[in-house]
Structure 1
Amino acid sequence: MMRNTTLSTAALGEQSLAKSALLVVAGSVLLTLSSKISVPFFPVPMTMQTFTVLLLGFALGARLGLVTVLAWLAQGAVGLPVFAGPAAGIAYFAGPTGGYLAGFVFATWATGALAERGWDRSLVGSAAAALLGLAVIYASGLGWLGTVVGWDKPVLELGLIPFLPGELVKLCLLACALPLAWRALGRGDS
C-alpha cells in the first residue's frame, strides 16, 4: 500500500486535471458552507471552518488541499461572500480573523502532508495530525488577533478559550472518521 495515497485518490482513482479542478471547486463550496455554520462570538465567530480546513488537508493531501484553501481565500478577496458573516473583500484579511485565515493555509498543508504519510489511518495519528493543524491555526490566529485588538486585551479569552470545547469535538470527529473512511475503502491500518 502506498502511504502517499490520499482519501480522494483512494476513493476516486488517480487525479486528472479535470478531477482535481472539480475537487477544488467542491472543497471551496464545502468551506464556504462551513463558514456559514456559525455561532456569533466576538471578535471571532465560531464556525465549522477549522474542521473543514483540516478535512480538506486530510482528504486531498498537501498540494490539492492548499490549492483549495487558496482558491477559497481568493474568492473572498475579490468580494464573494464565502467567509463567516456578510463581509468579504481584501480588507477582511486585516480584521480580527485574518490570522486564522492565514493559519488555514498552513494547517491544510501540514495535515495534508501528514495524511500523505499515513497519519490519517489510525485514531492516534489522526488525532495528533488534527491537533497539530489546530495549533497552527490558533498560533497564527492569536498572533494576528493580538496585533489587531491590542496585546493589553485578553487575547486568549477572545480567540482561544471559548473555542476549545468545540475544537475538541471536531478533533474527535476527525480522529474517529478518518480511520473508518480508510477501512471502508479497504485500506486502513490493521
Structure 2
Amino acid sequence: MQLTASHSVLAETFGPSTGIARRIKQAVLVILGVAMLAIAAKVKVPMWPVPMTMGTFAVLTIGAAYGPRLGLTTILGYMIIGALGFDIFAGSSAEKFGLEYMMGGTGGYLVGYIVAALVLGALAQRGWDRSAVWMAVAMLIGNVLIYVPGVAWLGMLYGWDKPILEWGLTPFLLGDVLKLALAAALLPALWKLVGNARS
C-alpha cells in the first residue's frame, strides 16, 4: 500500500476535471453531500442498546469519496445550514435547533465531524479507500476523531463526575462497528466498479 498522497479520490474519477465545468460539478457534489448528511442524520435503524443513526457513516464516506478540500466544504456547508436553524441534525427539533443545539451535548461531535472528514479525505488520497482493510482502519481513525472531542465536550459541559462514557460512547459502539464494516466494503467496491468501467 502506497502511503503518499498521489491517488485520486472517487469524486475526481468522473465528470469534468478543469475549468468552470469542474466548479459546477463540485458545487453539485456539495449540495448532494449536504442533502445526504441531512437525510442520514435522521435515519434511525433499530438496534440494541440505542437506535443507530447514519450520520457518522455519511460524514466519513463523504470525506473519503470527496477528498479533504471538497469534503471539508461539504461538512462546513452542512454546519452553516444547521446553524441557521434548519432541522438537519440527528437530535434537533422544533424546540431546540440552530446554534443552541450545536452548543449543547452534540457540539463536540460536530467538531469531530470536521476533523474526521479532513483526515478521511487525506487518507483516501493515499489510497486507503481502495482496500477493505485500510478503509476499515481509516473508519476506525475517523470514529476516534469524532468521539474524542465529543466525549471531552460532554465532560466539560456536564461534569466529569457524570457517566459521560455511558452517555456518549459505549451505547454507540456496536452500531459503529457495523457502519465501519459497511464502509470498508462499499468504498473498495465502488473503486472496482470504476476500474471495470474504464477497462
- Mark yes or no: TM-score above 0.5: yes
Structure with larger Rg:
2
Residue 80 (structure 1) aligns with: 86
- Answer yes or no: is 1:148 the counterpart of 2:157: yes
Question: Tell me, which stretches of 5 or more residues in structure 2 are unaligned?
Answer: none
The share of aligned pairs that are identical, in percent, is 46
Kindly tell me: are residues 165 and 13 of structure 1, through their superposed partners in 2, closer, same or farther at Cα, counting changes over 3 Å? Answer: farther
Contact kept? 2:65, 2:121, Cα under 8 Å: yes
**2:68 paired residue number:** 62
Higher mean C-alpha displacement, 77-86 vs 166-175? 77-86
1: CA distance, partners of 2:187 / 2:103: 34
Choose from 4, 11, 14 the match for 2:7.
4
User: Residues of 2 paired with 1:54 and 1:14: CA distance?
Assistant: 23
Q: CA deviation at 1:80?
A: 1.2
Check if 1:173 corresponds to 2:182.
yes
What TM-score do you get using the length of structure 2 for normalisation?
0.87
> 1:14 corresponds to which residue?
17
Query: In structure 1, how many angstroms separate the alpha carbons of the residues matched to 2:189 and 2:16?
Result: 19
SS in 2 for 1:80: coil
Aligned partners of 2:71, 2:51: CA distance in 1, in Å? 23
List alignment gaps of at least 5 residues for structure 1. Answer: none
Alignment pair present for 1:127 and 2:136: yes
Cα deviations across residues 113-154 of structure 1 (Å, max 9, x unaligned)?
000110100011101111100000000110111112211011
Query: How far apart in 2 are the matches of 1:125 and 1:39?
Result: 26
CA RMSD between the two structures = 2.0
Shift of 1:45: 7.7
Moved more, 53-62 or 83-92: 83-92
Give 1:157's aligned residue: 166
CA distance 1:181–1:13, shift in 2 (3 Å): farther
In 1, are the aligned partners of 2:16 and 2:25 still within 8 Å (CA)? no
Question: 1:95-110 counterparts in 2 under 5 A?
Answer: 95-110=104-119
Which residue of the partner structure matches residue 185 of structure 1? 194
Q: What is the alpha-carbon distance in structure 2 between the residues aligned to residue 147 and residue 45 of structure 1?
A: 25
The residue type equivalent to 1:182 in the other structure is W
**In the superposition, relative to structure 1, how do residues 83 and 171 fare at CA in structure 2: closer, same or farther (>3 Å)?**
same
Q: Within the alignment, does 1:115 sit opposite 2:124 as a pair?
A: yes
Q: Which amino acid aligns with 2:27?
A: A
TM-fit CA distance, 1:13? 4.6
Q: Which moved more, 1:46-55 or 1:62-71?
A: 46-55
Residue 38 to residue 150, structure 1, CA distance change in 2 (3 Å) = farther
